[in-house]
Structure 1
């Protein structure tokens, strides 16, 4: 017979695996039935819609009046040139959000993304073809590259670009693909728990794990309005929380973890009595424990790794709250 719950199960495991160039797989589990998709779908939308990237928003070609024109000595007409330019993925080299860059090329030459790299801007798709210039031809053009999110049509930037430039439709998103899948899993004789598996790929402007973290941050910020306006408080720890397997493990006294005498004494003198208190410390905080040498640090790192709480690993939000309530002074 299943027990009656008063709160949904909170996932405790997350795995990150690199599966290709700028491509990772993130697995999280176990979720209650139906909870995995509740989180997966908005996260996918945020990854695709709120990840910050760079894109050209305006173009000026010497001697060209409009996008249906042509340039003498250039194989591609202007409309084809623009399509190729939009395919090239840029990345700013500093904190500038709006970069104007001038280029001059003399033929014969095949221009690719690699030729557009300079002191102000980088290109993460260097092999993309831009244009072919015939002998005795000269191509002068300028582009404005901007930082942004999502898709912005040319009409929306027309009033913001310099005179003489053609506005471009701009696709800023550096995340090229996000998919998720679910698997059922068994938890305490219940086969209806779920595992969610994300596949995330970017174009190289940003690594996929950073993109995922940024999407989580955006989600938290969007939801924070409810905390601030409705004065929602984090619930106190209940007796049922004390029975969670993680809390029981983290409530172990450090004298039961078989540390060497020197390592145990350093922790004890610093006031650390329980494993949970140690897990709450950052790697730098552990390194700064008085008289803790490298050998003891390695010993602690190995023990935390063995117990499933390696130094530097992010603790799930609800567990972090419970640990702070239990162990913080």
Structure 2
């Protein structure tokens, strides 16, 4: 029987099973009905899109001018060589963001990922096939290897790749598989609570548990944009509403100030109420010919409309308001 509550049940248990360096199972429970999938689905997406990995982004082959070319003495044409290269998974040993690696091979030889290991780069799938060259061939090529997230097509990389390199589609994500299962779990005689079981497999560039950590960090970072909402005083007028924007972008004439106060603001170039809302008391005092009586009047009026001089009613909306006022002034000039 479901009970009336005033907050969602807080999950209390987590189990982390490291099946291998590249495979892990992570279980968390118990969640209220519907909460498990609400969390699991975005975490799965972030596993694929936010986990740092490495990929070749460009290749230069001696004697080759474009990706549809062929090379004497190599079994594969250049297009197939590139496909094979993109299937090799690299990892930079010095944790740098970009390296250019030079290779040179003489035939006869079958070249695999293991042959591309050196002091700078490690190939995490050493058995992956690259190319075969005959006894008369010499294969020299450079590879640009970069760190990144997600997928970037070669069209978007061409402007950043040296002219003599062929740009490659970059598959950065090291996560090969990320699946979750939602199961029911019993809590206080209620069988409707839920358990998330994640199974994560990576290609070896990063471990499965490390990949899950990256997705959690990405979720926290993305959600932090809403942190300012927690600090909002719901009793304070919000400048983000259309009515409040209209008030702040209205003329200072609408404040019905005395002629002396209005003339002082007008001569100082203060045209909009929002400009007063952006000022602190010292800035207001610095306005030429603004006496104490006018200062007190302006402060009282601004307090009355919910934007006290030097207050924080605007908070994170200051830059937006400044831009709107600047645009209005430019339009009126």
Which TM-score applies when normalising by structure 1? Answer: 0.69
1:297-312 paired onto structure 2 within 5 Å: none
Question: How many pairs were matched up?
Answer: 233
- Which ranges of structure 1 fall in alignment gaps of 5 or more residues? 234-329
User: Is contact 2:21-2:208 (8 Å) kept?
Assistant: no
Q: Give 1:229 shift.
A: 5.4
SS in 1 for 2:119: coil
| Runs of at least 5 residues in structure 2 that lack an aligned partner in the other structure | 234-333
Match of 2:164 in 1: 164
Partner of 2:22: 22
Matched, 1:112 2:112: yes
Q: Matched residues in 2 for 1:165 and 1:232: separation?
A: 52
In the alignment, what sits opposite 2:141? 141
Spell out, residue by residue over 1:228-268, the C-alpha distance to the aligned partner (whole angstroms, 9 max, x if none).
355269xxxxxxxxxxxxxxxxxxxxxxxxxxxxxxxxxxx
Which whole-Å CA distance do the structure 2 matches of 1:21 and 1:51 have between them?
Answer: 16
Matched with 2:75 is: 75
Distance (Å, rounded) in 2 between the aligned partners of 1:154 and 1:57:
8
| Partner residue, 2:66 | 66
Kindly indicate whether the alpha-carbon contact (under 8 Å) linking 2:151 and 2:170 is maintained by their aligned counterparts in 1. Answer: yes
Map Cα deviations across residues 6-41 of structure 1 (whole Å, 9 max, x no partner): 000011001111334511111110000000000000
Contact 2:59–2:168 under 8 Å retained in 1: yes
Q: CA deviation at 1:189?
A: 1.1
Q: Distance in 1 between matches of 2:91 and 2:228?
A: 36
Q: Give distance in 2, aligned partners of 1:78 and 1:204.
A: 27
Question: Does 2:117 correspond to 1:125?
Answer: no
For 1:108-159, what per-residue CA distance to the aligned partner results, in whole angstroms no more than 9, with x for missing partners? 0110101111121111011100000111210011110010000000011101
Would you say the 8 A contact 1:113–1:123 is kept in 2?
yes
Contact 1:226–1:232 (CA under 8 A) maintained in structure 2: no
Give the TM-score normalised by structure 2: 0.68
Q: Residues 185 and 192 of structure 1 are in contact (CA less than 8 Å); yes or no, is this contact kept in structure 2?
A: yes
What is the rounded CA distance, in whole Å, between the counterparts of 2:228 and 2:210 in structure 1?
27
Taking the aligned partners of 2:229 and 2:24, their CA distance within structure 1 comes to 37
Q: For 1:229 and 1:53, locate their aligned partners in 2 and report how far apart those are by CA, in whole Å.
A: 34
Residue deviations 1:269-305 (CA, integer Å, cap 9, x gap) = xxxxxxxxxxxxxxxxxxxxxxxxxxxxxxxxxxxxx
Query: Is 1:179–1:200's contact at 8 Å kept on the other side of the alignment?
Result: yes
Q: Distance in 1 between matches of 2:113 and 2:92?
A: 14
Whole-Å separation in 1 of the counterparts to 2:221 and 2:21: 30
